[in-house]
Amino acid sequence: GNSVTQMEGPVTLSEEAFLTINCTYTATGYPSLFWYVQYPGEGLQLLLKATKADDKGSNKGFEATYRKETTSFHLEKGSVQVSDSAVYFCALSGYSTLTFGKGTMLLVSP
Amino acid sequence: NAGVTQTPKFQVLKTGQSMTLQCAQDMNHNSMYWYRQDPGMGLRLIYYSASEGTTDKGEVPNGYNVSRLNKREFSLRLESAAPSQTSVYFCASSEEGTAANYGYTFGSGTRLTVV
């Protein structure tokens, strides 16, 4: 079956540092890939997505590239801000449901 | 604002009590979902409804029932609550068959504690 593996957190960074959160997946077929973000006390919000190999999703300075050869979809940001502190979830699609990773907490200090 | 609305936001139950979590969406989506979120476990699918009139089990359906009341509403019922059901519950929706391309829209969650 489908599965998603994310790096464990928390990831702690200083403001303006470079961020990478690793995500690898196992899936049948050609899934779409997503990153969701969850701020404290809120639901999940779609951050970015990619629907086919070599696609790059981007939003709010975050980027992730769909790498079929390494079955990966790593999230990156060049310069994080305190306001980026949240939990980040990688997910992949089946036909009508999404499978999520366990989430990675990011803590950014001033 | 358009979106997915969940009620209640917080609830404390005693073991053995029953309750229904409500979810409604106003985006005319066909598909709706219930997930639970637990520390270190991520989100796990409880039940989903691909379209009005259909429901299917997800990864962790035991102890839960669902009702797709109409296109807008999808409720989750705990018949006899257990401490293991202490969790944060999220409802989500998507266009039928397009979760693959567009993903879900999530509600803000219901934090349930069973004592």
Question: What are the tens digits of pLDDT across the range A46-68?
Answer: 999 999 999 999 999 999 999 99
B37: closest chain A residue by CA: A102
Place of tokens 């979120």: B37
Residues 6 or more apart whose Cβ sits within 8 Å of residue A69: none
Of the candidates B113, B30, B7, B35, the one whose C-alpha atom is nearest the C-alpha of residue A36 is B35
Whether A102 and B104 lie within 8 Å, measured CB to CB: no
Given B41, B99, B109, which is nearest A97 (Cβ)? B99
Task: Write out the E strands in B15-109.
Answer: 19-25, 31-38, 42-49, 56-57, 64-68, 74-78, 87-94, 105-106
Tell me if chain B has a CB within 8 Å of the CB of A89.
Answer: yes
For every one of its 115 residues, what pLDDT tens digit does chain B have, with 9 covering 90 and above? 679 999 999 999 999 999 999 999 999 999 999 999 998 888 999 999 988 889 999 999 999 999 998 999 999 999 999 999 999 999 999 986 666 677 889 999 999 999 9
What's residue A1's pLDDT? Answer: 83
CB contact under 8 A, A96 and B48: yes
Of B43, B45, B100, the CB nearest to A89: B43
Residue A75, strand partner residues: A21, A64
Tokens of B65: 């029932």
Residue A29 has pLDDT above 90, yes or no: no
3-state secondary structure of A82: helix
If pLDDT is split at 50, 70 and 90, which confidence band does A97 have? Answer: confident
Average pLDDT, chain A: 94
Tell which of B49, B57, B106 to mutate to test the A interface (max A CBs under 10 Å).
B106
**Res B97: pLDDT:** 63
Quote the pLDDT of residue A63: 98
Confidence (pLDDT) at B73: 97
Q: Is B92 exposed, middle or buried (0-12, 13-18, 19+ CB in 10 A)?
A: buried
Kindly list the residues from chain B whose CB atom is less than 8 angstroms away from the CB atom of residue A93: 99-101, 103
- Tokens 């029932």 correspond to B65
* Alpha-carbon distance A45 to nearest alpha carbon in chain B (angstroms): 7
**How does residue A94 score in pLDDT terms, banded at 50, 70 and 90?**
confident
